[in-house]
Structure 1
Amino acid sequence: MTTEPPLDHDTLPTLRPQKLSRTAAQTLTEQLAERFAGRIRSRLLAPGARLPSVRQCAAQHGLNPSTVVSAYDLLLAQGLVEARRNRGYFVRERAPARTRGDDGEAATVERPIRSAGEDSHRMAAPINAAALIRGMFHPSGERPQPGMGVFPPDWLEGTFMAAAVRRVSGAKALADSSLRYGEPLGDSHLRRVLAGRLQGIGLPVEPSQIITTVGATHALDVVSRTLLKPGDAVMVEEPGWAVEFARLGALGMRILPVPRGPSGPDLAVMARYCEAHAPKLFVSVSVLHNPTGYCLSPTSAHRVLQLAQQHDFCVVEDDTYSHIAPEHATRMSVLDGLQRTIYVSGFAKILAPNWRVGYMAAPTAWVERLLDTKLLSTLTTPSLLERALAHCIEQGQLRRHAERIRIRLDAARHRSVKLALAAGCQLKAEPSGLFGWVDTGVDTDALSQRMLDEGYLIAPGALFHAARAPSTLMRINFTTTQDATFWRVFSRLTADR
């Protein structure tokens, strides 16, 4: 197994690298090889990703094809890529230290079962959602990034958060919240406010059923570590959130990808999975699904809950986008009343990404087990920020802020969709929420590398599938793709499709 040194984020290559220079101390071959090596080591080129063809790379950089071949040979010698006959050069799969199941096998992906008697194809999951996450922290200047999963900072700017922090951080309050651990479940005032908020969407819950976490992702992780063990089967929507596939894979789970359509998950596939694999958990983004923007229909929600009851699995509902969701959106946890569902949400998307305040609402019988896992992972959560958040919610400031965001997002979505269509893309889902799911007509893995050379980070469709495979789809952020400059670059790079 290859062991890599810890990654120093200060050494990450910038999104827009310097042009190759014929007068530099290094040869053109060495410069090109170093550029790809940096992206591979920083995970911006994920394992299994295909490098541009020799012809494409030579044309893109104005090089002789023999120079590109020599650069790829250097990467081969360094063990970073492999050549596949008649297919090209691919980033080598590493052998990371991974959690293994009781049978000694690493995490696997089961492909959807198409018929009751058909055996599923089992394969390792070469997921690298970390590539997208690392790109989010890349130095990128002022240029909007199409692949980002958050609102731009200037959309979230406001004075009310700072005022709330000042309000709750007087000398005595600051000492109380800083010099001792907070309440295990989370700040009691915030939990009361959250209970009222959930009752507003039709979910009757007591403050004692709510556990605060370090963001919604932490809540999902606490649930997985509490209810699952390595080797357990977990159903996850596909396409789906890249981080969830990667996180469950790292825990050694068997991932069962369930195709997600406009009204909800493919119920026939779920039913066959239940018969063949006895899954323990189903993870769903019911409202404004990432990356498609779909919302769950009441009929699909009822059927999923019937399957859960019949086959004894739990449902985790990730409602990260609740603040920009349509009114009266269907949520399984509301229909189920938290009998075998866990509701997860947070405030990083809409309020303050670095506050990292999330929470879960769970059946009373599961609360103590979930709390134990939280305490083992973080001991506590930041009381000061939780109290400030409670004040923002209680005074209606968060609600008014979210309304302003929704209005601004509607306008951005309209502009972005118009530009995407003009650039030759097709919308694969009705535009809704923060993200668009578009078909570019070209391999977006290869396109992502060319866009990096232009200073743009995109989110290729392969990232949103449990087993990476070539895709012409990409997820766009409507707030960062309303700039015609990006689409002009996109059109130029895809003109030879």
Structure 2
Amino acid sequence: MLTRTSAQSLTGQLADRFSERIRNRLLPPGARLPSVRECARQQGVSPHTVVAAYDQLLAQGLVEARRQRGFYVRDSGPAAGPPPDSAGPAPALAPAPLVAADASTLIRGMFHRPSDKPQPGMGVFPPDWLESTFMPAAVRRVTSGKALQELSLQYGEPAGDGSLRRSLSTRLAAISVPAAPEQIVTTIGATHALDIVSRTLLRPGDPVMVEEPGWALEFARLEALGMRILPVPRKADGPDLEVMERYCTAGDAHKPKLFVSVSVLHNPTGYSLTPGSAHRVLQLANRHDFHIVEDDTYSHLAPEHATRLCAMDGLQRTIYVGGFAKILAPNWRIGFVAASPALIGRLLETKLLATLTSPALFERALAWCIDQGQLRRHAERVRVRLDGARGRTVKLALAAGCTLASEPAGLFGWVDTGVDTDALTQRMLDEGYLLAPGSLFHARRPPTTLMRINFATAQDATFWKVFARVRDQI
């Protein structure tokens, strides 16, 4: 709460609070600030103080006043087009205007935590969950003796460290994805792998099908490359095939070139693809000639029998993307892409143009962790701990009056709060908590009562008590 001090007035404190959120994109362009009376009630100050604070934000060019409508965060980028008419043409004919900065809400939250409290909106495990003794041992091993100079003083293999690619090939074979070491290119994280695929296969203006709700960063990344986003509703068994069919038959000018999918433990719903749905998706891709990039970021948390498009297709039309930031070491930034022999050379060329190579030291250390079985045992321990956290979090969420929009699975829960979660997010920031409102996971950011929670960081009873109190005030 704001406090009366001689160092700064209440007006200055309030203006600074909104200013920081706007600059860090926690209040995205176009967001409406609370009304003067509502803000005064929330912050425990007079309406005069709020008006003075909003005037400071106006003077800084951070907000704009709209007559009889209130104050809105100023959008310095190009104006988005009007929303489509629900009775208008097929979805493929209506490009979805996105606001790339919205995705940075969650990304910035990873680096600028609003407090030292557990953050249920975060997309990663708490650091103490990932602590281990084998990772330092792996680094010491690859940096001892002459290895440090050999790996540091020259460029590594363009496709990535050979020992890691051999380890990855063996690991992919265990989940029935056939990829020789020569069919694998390492990357600086899974997001970099997705970017390499997009830059290789697509050109600005190309239509791309993306699951919705989906990863906010993927919408923003494709928009920044100039692609046309075609949202595909994600259901419990897989993507909505009827919507995909409509996109594919809307005419050559609107024909999708790529489909981006998280088949296993989908973010944010936790859904996993069924064999029947996977078979029909592959049939559609063959019939309409588009590629599928399968983002398997959460593979380490998934059951061994999980259905994967790449396993069924054998990397013919499919491209596999994986990474280790979620389960092992976020700052090692190691990912990879596996593809057919005909395509992998093109992907490698794109990597070379952007990054030349990738860091052999950490790649060699990761290969050791995989080969020694350390990564497998570590993942097993995390899964057991996550199962317990998931059970506790579900009980707390239900007790707080929420409902589950999907069956709890994996790292994330898709929860219905009963109130607008964009408004709820701003109120919870005042309490020191960063939420992930459901609108972030849609191309058009529609108002929604849903939010994504991280089971590992949302098992705090205090958070749910604060949540219930704030929600009941909205």
Q: What do the CA deviations read for 1:136-191 (whole angstroms, capped 9, x no partner)?
A: 10145542111110111101111011111112222211111000011011111111
Instruction: Provide structure 1 residue ranges, at least 5 long, that are not aligned to the other structure.
Output: 1-18, 97-105
Deviates more, 1:255-264 or 1:468-477: 468-477
CA RMSD of aligned residues (A): 2.1
Once the two structures are TM-superposed, the CA of residue 75 in structure 1 deviates from its matched residue by: 2.3
1:314 matches 2:291 = yes
Cα separation, 1, equivalents of 2:265 and 2:187: 22
Q: Which amino acid aligns with 2:120?
A: P
Deviations 1:427-465 (A, max 9, x none): 101000000011111121121122111111111111111
Report the more deviating stretch, 20-29 or 320-329: 20-29
Report whether the alignment pairs 1:290 with 2:275: no
Relative to structure 1, the CA distance from residue 268 to residue 387 in structure 2 (aligned partners, 3 Å threshold; closer, same or farther) is same
One of 449, 463, 469 as aligned partner of 1:486: 463
| Structure 2: distance between partners of 1:194 and 1:305 | 24
1:448 and 2:425 equivalent? yes
2:173 corresponding residue in structure 1: 199
Provide the residue aligned with 2:248 in structure 1: 274
Q: Which one of 127, 150, 154 corresponds to residue 124 of structure 2?
A: 150
C-alpha change, 1:33 and 1:266, in structure 2 (3 Å) is same
Number of aligned residue pairs: give it: 470
Q: TM-score, normalised by structure 2?
A: 0.94
- Percent sequence identity over matched residues? 70
State which of 145, 158, 165 in structure 2 corresponds to 1:184: 158
Whether 2:34 is the aligned partner of 1:52: answer yes
Q: Deviations over 1:234-261 (max 9, x none)?
A: 1000000011001011111101111111
Deviations 1:2-44 (A, max 9, x none): xxxxxxxxxxxxxxxxx42334454433332222122111212
SS of residue matched to 2:260: strand
- Residue type of the alignment partner of 2:441: F
The answer to whether the 8 Å contact 1:177/1:384 transfers is: yes
Secondary structure, aligned partner of 2:232: strand
Q: Are the structure 2 counterparts of residues 60 and 130 from structure 1 closer, same or farther at C-alpha, using a change threshold of 3 Å?
A: same
* Unmatched segments (≥5 aa) in structure 2: none
Query: What is the alpha-carbon distance in structure 2 between the residues aligned to residue 396 and residue 30 of structure 1?
Result: 55
Q: 2:18 aligns with which of 36, 40, 51?
A: 36
The AA in structure 2 aligned to 1:266 is: D
- Map 1:37-186 to 2 at 5 A: 37-84=19-66, 87-95=69-77, 120-127=93-100, 128-139=102-113, 142-186=116-160
| Per-residue CA distance 1:320-355 (angstroms, 9 max, x = gap) | 000000221110011110001100001110011111
Q: How many angstroms does 1:86 deviate by?
A: 5.4
The CA distance in 1 between the partners of 2:460 and 2:103, in whole Å, is: 26
1:373 paired residue number: 350
1:327 paired to 2:304: yes
Q: Counterparts of 1:389-404 in structure 2 under 5 Å?
A: 389-404=366-381
Match of 2:239 among 265, 272, 282: 265
CA–CA separation in structure 2 for the residues paired with 1:476 and 1:247: 22
2:198 to 201, 207, 224: 224
Note the C-alpha offset of 1:85: 5.2
* Structure-1 residue corresponding to 2:360: 383
For 1:178-212, what per-residue CA distance to the aligned partner results, in whole angstroms no more than 9, with x for missing partners? 00011011111111111111111111111100000
Are positions 1:241 and 2:208 aligned together? Answer: no
- Determine helix, strand or coil for the equivalent of 1:392: helix
TM-score, reference length from structure 1? 0.90
Is 1:356 matched up with 2:333?
A: yes
The superposition leaves residues 102-160 of structure 1 with CA deviations (integer Å, 9 ceiling, x where unpaired) of xxxx9989979989867854452124111211111014554211111011110111101
CA displacement at 1:308 relative to structure 2: 0.9
Query: Contact 2:114–2:429 (CA<8 Å) still a contact in 1?
Result: no
The answer to whether structure 1 residue 473 and structure 2 residue 450 are counterparts is yes
**Secondary structure of 1:317 counterpart:** strand
Residue pair 1:151, 1:349 contacting (<8 A) in 2 also? yes
